[in-house]
Structure 1
Amino acid sequence: MEINLPDKLYYSIGELAKAFNVNASMIRFWESEFPIIQPKRNAKGNRYFTKEDLRNLKMIYYLVKEKGYTLDGAKAALTTNPRIGDTVEMIDRLNFVKAELIKLKKALPEKE
């Protein structure tokens, strides 16, 4: 799962929903279900997510959408395995390396 977001202090819920390819309501639902997601709110009540929230959303997305965990299972995994974030980051790095290697392979001339 590659998330393409610019490096900035806060992200809107729309930006995150688009990056994760889910509805904004899914992000709001995960916020209500997982206390580790705590966006800041402005005077109008709009949510603004930090880099830490983004990291936590990546972990939740990985567990729920990619590994097929139930919400209760994801909650349990997040509380019992403090290294799950490291795992998700490693998977992101490996996916990046894989994509770069595929680009290099396509750039090589074909053998006959």
Structure 2
Amino acid sequence: MPYKEKTIEKKYYAIGEVAGMFNVATSLIRFWETEFDLIKPKKNRKGNRQFTKEDIENVKIIYHLVKERGFTLQGAKDMLRSNSDQVKDKMEMIDSLTKVKSFLQELKKNIS
């Protein structure tokens, strides 16, 4: 059986990596951490934040509500408090539709 390279998935991400994923300043991620209970990165001995995939998903939801949909911080908090599952379902649907759109655009490009 030939050797197959495994992809190594990171368990933790630094705040700079998370900020880069959303093209925002690290200070905004730190601010959201204080404002939203959903974001709870671990801290190592040096005090550096270590974000899990779950933390990143929560940042993604907050980013969507605040930056893309224009919610105020209080509005985003209220939405998450009352409709957390609904917001997550919508985010998953948006992600799926975005992937389908990209696939169809690539297909169209290859056909042309």
Instruction: Using structure 1 for the length normalisation, give the TM-score.
Output: 0.89
- Tell me if structure 2 keeps the 8 A contact 1:12–1:47: yes
Larger fraction in helix: 2
Instruction: State yes or no: 1:99 paired with 2:112.
Output: no
Indicate which of 56, 61, 68 corresponds to 1:59: 61
Bigger mean CA offset, 82-91 vs 96-105? 82-91
How many angstroms apart in 2 are the aligned matches of 1:105 and 1:95? Answer: 15
- The Cα of 1:85 is off from its aligned counterpart by 1.2
Aligned residues: 104
- Tell me if structure 2 keeps the 8 A contact 1:55–1:85: no
Q: Output the amino acid matched with 1:86.
A: D
How many angstroms apart in 1 are the aligned matches of 2:49 and 2:102? Answer: 33
Instruction: Using structure 2 for the length normalisation, give the TM-score.
Output: 0.89
Which position in structure 2 is the counterpart of 1:71?
73
Structure 1: gaps of 5 or more residues: 1-5
Indicate which of 32, 40, 43 corresponds to 2:42: 40
RCO comparison, higher one (Cα < 8 Å, 6+):
1
Percent identity between matched residues is 57
- The Cα of 1:15 is off from its aligned counterpart by 0.4
Q: Provide the alpha-carbon RMSD of the alignment.
A: 1.2
How many angstroms apart in 1 are the aligned matches of 2:25 and 2:70? Answer: 18
